[in-house]
Every structure is written in C-alpha cells, then in structure tokens.
Amino acid sequence: MFVGHFGIAFAAKRAAPRTSLATLFAATAFLDILWPVLVLTGIEKVRIEPGITAWAPLDFVSYPWSHSAAMALLWSGIFGWVVLALSRDRGAGLACGALVFSHWILDFVSHRPDLPLWPRGPVVGLGLWYSVPATLVIEGAIFTAGIWIYASATQARDRVGRWSLVALVVLLTAAYLSDLWSPPPPSEAVVAWTGVAAVIILLPWAAWIDRHRAAAVPRLAAG
C-alpha cells in the first residue's frame, strides 16, 4: 500500500493534535523508511517481477527485519517510546506507536502472502493487489477519509497552510495513479532510491504544512 498509509497518518492528527504531521508520516511509513536502506545494503531482497500481482511488479523475496509482524511490533514500541520521551505526551506516543504497526496491517491486506510473522516464520498476506479496482477503491477510500479528517481537525493559518496541503494531496494522488500506466522500474536499486527520495521530500513537506495549520476552532452556532 502507498497512499493508504498516508491516509491513516492524516487521520491520526485528530488523536494526536500536538504532534507534527511529519512525525505522523514518519511513523506510518517507518517500515518503508527502513526497507530501502536494508535493500541497498543487501540485508533484505526485492526482485522486479512484472505480473506477480496486478498492482505492484515486486517480489518481496526477503524482508524480515523491516516487515515481519514481530519486528513491526518491536519498531512500533521503540518509535512510540521515543516520541513519548521527547514530547512527554502519552497520547502522541501511543498514536505514533499504533501508526507504525498500522503499516504492517495495511501491507498484510494488500501484499500477496509474503509477509513473515517473524524472521524465518510463516508468511501471510490477503492479496488486495491481485485486483486493481479493489485496490483503488479501498486505498482511495482510506486516503480520502484521512485527508478529510485532517482538513477538518486543523485549519489553515494562511494561504501556505491551504495550498501546501492541496499540492501534497495532488502530488501523492498523481504518484499513486502513475503506477497504473508506468512501466516496471528498471532496477531494484531504483525502487529503493525512489523510497529514499520520497522520505526526503515528504517529511519536510509535511512539517511545512503543519507549521501553517492550527487546530480547528469549532464554529459558533449562528444567532
């Protein structure tokens, strides 16, 4: 899954209003932040395999440290604890920890059975990616609902607060839909470096949006 993860992070702003959208993005994407680094260092393996699912031409040969359920649980505990220690905000720590693990749940729904329960353990996956229409409907619904929740839980302080959010949503949507007609990536390294580039672009962007938005003030009833 791709934009679905960001939908969950947007929605989490309601549960953790004082946490920057950038931290929420880092939490929801944390397993996919680790993964390209582990692929580039040869610790985990992916292979380009057009047609392996209808959606993603990737065979996740081995990714026990970034994507097994047991490691996801450990990463979520560590991430949540670090956020709690830095912010002294229990709600923020809990929300970020849950976000890290939400990544595994969404990947479990979308991947074919290739996600290990623990390193060298049995592999699972519900295979939403076997159907392009089902992927679009379910992931699109999560993404749209998340944006709606974020946009109603916060309000723009200025024009930047409005348009930086609109631009990010357009970029994520375009990047997501371009998967439908773009050819398979030329190499595994390109896949990994694309992941690294996404982190470098999206986290500062999310921080920038969040600095220009404030918690929404409930509207006074007319009269």
Q: Which residue number, 107 or 210, has a Cβ lying nearer to Zn ion? A: 107
CA dist., res. 113 & res. 72, Å (int): 16
- For residue 104, the minimal CB distance to Zn ion (Å) is 8
Q: Which residue number, 32 or 44, has a Cβ lying nearer to Zn ion? A: 32
Q: Which residues fall within 8 angstroms of residue 206, CB to CB, at 6 or more apart? A: 20, 21, 22, 24, 25, 168
Choices 24-32, 56-64, 113-121, 147-155; region in contact with Zn ion by CB under 5 A: 24-32
62, containing H or E segment? strand 58-62
CA dist., res. 43 & res. 62, Å (int): 9
Q: Which residue number, 10 or 60, has a Cβ lying nearer to Zn ion? A: 60
Q: Which residue number, 31 or 151, has a Cβ lying nearer to Zn ion? A: 31
- For residue 32, the minimal CB distance to Zn ion (Å) is 4
Q: Which residue number, 58 or 209, has a Cβ lying nearer to Zn ion? A: 58
- For residue 91, the minimal CB distance to Zn ion (Å) is 25
Q: Which residue number, 36 or 80, has a Cβ lying nearer to Zn ion? A: 36
CA dist., res. 114 & res. 124, Å (int): 6
Tell me which residues in 63-122 interact with Zn ion (CB under 5 A): 107
CA dist., res. 189 & res. 128, Å (int): 25
Can you state the angle between helices 90-110 and 132-153, rounded to 10 degrees? 160
Size of the site for Zn ion (CB under 5 A): 3
- For residue 26, the minimal CB distance to Zn ion (Å) is 14
- For residue 165, the minimal CB distance to Zn ion (Å) is 24
Tell me which residues in 29-58 interact with Zn ion (CB under 5 A): 31-32
CA dist., res. 80 & res. 190, Å (int): 31
C-alpha separations of 217 from 52, 154, 220 in Å: 48, 8, 9
- For residue 5, the minimal CB distance to Zn ion (Å) is 8
**What residues make contact with Zn ion under the rule CB under 5 A?**
31-32, 107
